[in-house]
Amino acid sequence: MASNFQIKSYNFDKTLYLRLTGDFDEDSAQELTNTLIENSTVYSDIYLETNELKSIYSFDRDNLQKNLDNIKKQVKNLIIIGSNKYKIIQN
């Protein structure tokens, strides 16, 4: 995992906010995937805030996208927001 990558979480009722910071590499993508899987049955809404992501590697983004497709089936609403939204997901 990139040494500066962090997932900061905040929750309220059935909503979880995950603020992603630092560089997004293969290990970071796996950490995020694991976090989403662990929380997908607990929260009905999960927000990923991407404003503070720095480097985003396309291979790692593609691997995350494959996992997101499965996670979206378990979470009522997975909402990706922020200035790096389209760098972390495919349209």
Reported as a single tens digit per residue, the pLDDT across 21-77 is 999 888 888 899 899 999 988 998 999 999 999 988 776 677 788 788 788 888 889
pTM of the model: 0.86
Output the pLDDT for position 29: 87
Output the pLDDT for position 3: 76
Residue reference for tokens 């950490």: 31
Output the pLDDT for position 83: 94
CA dihedral 34, 39, 41, 43 (to 10 degrees): -150
What domains lie within the chain, and their CATH numbers?
6-88 (3.30.750.24)
Residue reference for tokens 């972390």: 88
